[in-house]
Amino acid sequence: MKLISYNLRKHRAATELATLVDAHGADLLCLQECDTADIPAQIAGLRLADVTHRNRLGLAVYYRISMYRPLEVRSIGLKKSLHDRVLKPAEERMLGVRLHDIDQGRDLVVASFHAAPLTALNSLRRHQIHAALDELREIGHGTLPALMVGDYNYPVFKENLGQAIREQGYELNLSDTRTYTRYRYFRGHYDFATSTGFDVDHIRTLPQGLSDHLPILVTARMSTPSARTRSADAVA
């Protein structure tokens, strides 16, 4: 499957979405900083699963109608930074969707994530990521493949983050080149993919558009299920 994750920079890059989906054959689309009151129900063959509802600028997940069927949607609020408490840009920082893969007959979980901005400490972002991954595990009943993508706002000390994520049973994957270019001293990798039960073939940074973030294209496939996973899918 192919998934595009894109921080729209206060919805400025929303006009690029249909072209991106068509050009790269995306099956899933995860958005951050979108105006949830001004996004369409469908984009280039992808249908909106849901959006966050308590954010000034929110999250959204789209899926290809011919490939997936949505089963459950869950959005969560995470520990707030001072920026969140003062300006209140985001109440919900993770939107997870449990999908049924029609061809493979298996369920999976996909999530769009947006961590607190750089004004917060890395320790707070690690706390948010940890809580979001725990929530993904709950949505997937502890057994389903899960893939969380988005703006992690974590340009330095990524090795420490990767170790913390591995201790939770997930893998952290970065794209081939940097994904943020707006400020000279803050350029780097901001947009990641965190997964379990997936083989991530590669993650490519796509050309920059109207956003200060560059979209990423994740190409991945579900790993061969264990007997436990097959049993859980059968129950679901």
The CATH number of the domain holding residue 202 is 3.60.10.10
Cβ-proximal residues to 181 (8 Å cutoff; 6+ apart), any chain: 187, 208, 212, 214
Q: What is the Cα–Cα distance from 94 to 229, expressed in whole angstroms? A: 24
Total count of domains within the chain: 1
- pLDDT for res 102: 97
103 compared with 181, residue with greater pLDDT: 103
Tens-place pLDDT, residues 107-158: 999 999 999 887 767 788 888 999 999 999 999 999 999 999 999 988 767 7
pLDDT at res. 80? 61
Apex 203 CA angle, 105 and 156, nearest 5: 125
pTM, two decimals, is: 0.89
Distance (Å, whole) CA 116 – CA 137: 21
What's the CA gap between 92 and 115, in Å, rounded? 10
Report helix, strand or coil for 181: coil
- Distance in angstroms (rounded) separating the CA atoms of residues 153 and 19: 26
DSSP state of 141: T
What ranges make up the beta strands (E) of the chain? 2-7, 28-34, 42-43, 46-51, 58-64, 68-76, 94-101, 106-114, 146-151, 171-173, 191-196, 198-205, 216-222
**Single-letter code of the amino acid located at 91:** E
DSSP string over 68-128: EEEEEEEEE--PPPHHHHHH---S--EEEEEEEETTTTEEEEEEEEE---TTS-HHHHHHH
Q: What is the mean pLDDT of the chain?
A: 88
Which residue range(s) make up the domain with 126? 2-235
Q: Torsions phi, psi of 119, nearest 5?
A: -70, -20
How far is Cα 8 from Cα 15, in angstroms, rounded to an integer? 10
Instruction: Render pLDDT for 182-216 as a digit per residue (tens, 0 to 9).
Output: 765 566 788 999 999 999 999 999 999 999 999 99
